[in-house]
A = this chain, B = another copy of it.
Amino acid sequence: MALKRNIESIVVNGASMFLPSVSVDCVIFGFHDNEMKVLLLQMKHTDEYGLPGGFVLKDEALDAAATRVLQERTGLTDIFLQQFATFGEPKRSDKKFHLKAMKKEGITIDKNNWLLQRFITVGYYALVDFSKVIPKIDELSIGCSWFHLQNVPTLMMDHNLILNKALETMQQQINHQPIGYNLLPQKFTMPELQKLYEAILNKKLDRRNFQRKILVYGILKKLKEVKQGVAHKAPFLYSFDIKKYNQALKNGYTGGW
Seen from chain A, the residues whose Cβ lies within 8 Å of a Cβ on chain B are 19-22, 56, 58-63, 65, 83, 85-90, 118, 120, 122, 172, 175-176, 252-256
Contacts and interface: CB of A to CB of B under 8 A. Distances in A.
A177 to B, nearest CB: 9
A122 B88 contact: yes
Contacts of A86: 62, 83, 86, 122
A55 to B, nearest CB: 11
A-B complex: 8 closest residue pairs judged by Cβ atoms: A254-B256, A62-B88, A20-B20, A86-B86, A59-B90, A19-B21, A21-B21, A86-B122
Contact of A56 (B88, B175, B252): B88
A253 B56 CA distance: 37
A252 B89 CA distance: 26
Contacts of A85: 83
A94 to B, nearest CB: 16
Nearest to A176: B175
A120 B19 contact: yes
Contacts of A254: 175, 254-256
Given A22-B120, A254-B175, A61 B88 contact: yes
A221 to B, nearest CB: 24
23 contacts: A19-B118, A20-B20, A21-B22, A22-B22, A22-B88, A22-B120, A56-B120, A58-B118, A61-B90, A62-B86, A62-B87, A62-B88, A62-B120, A83-B86, A86-B86, A88-B122, A172-B252, A175-B175, A175-B254, A254-B254, A254-B256, A255-B256, A256-B256
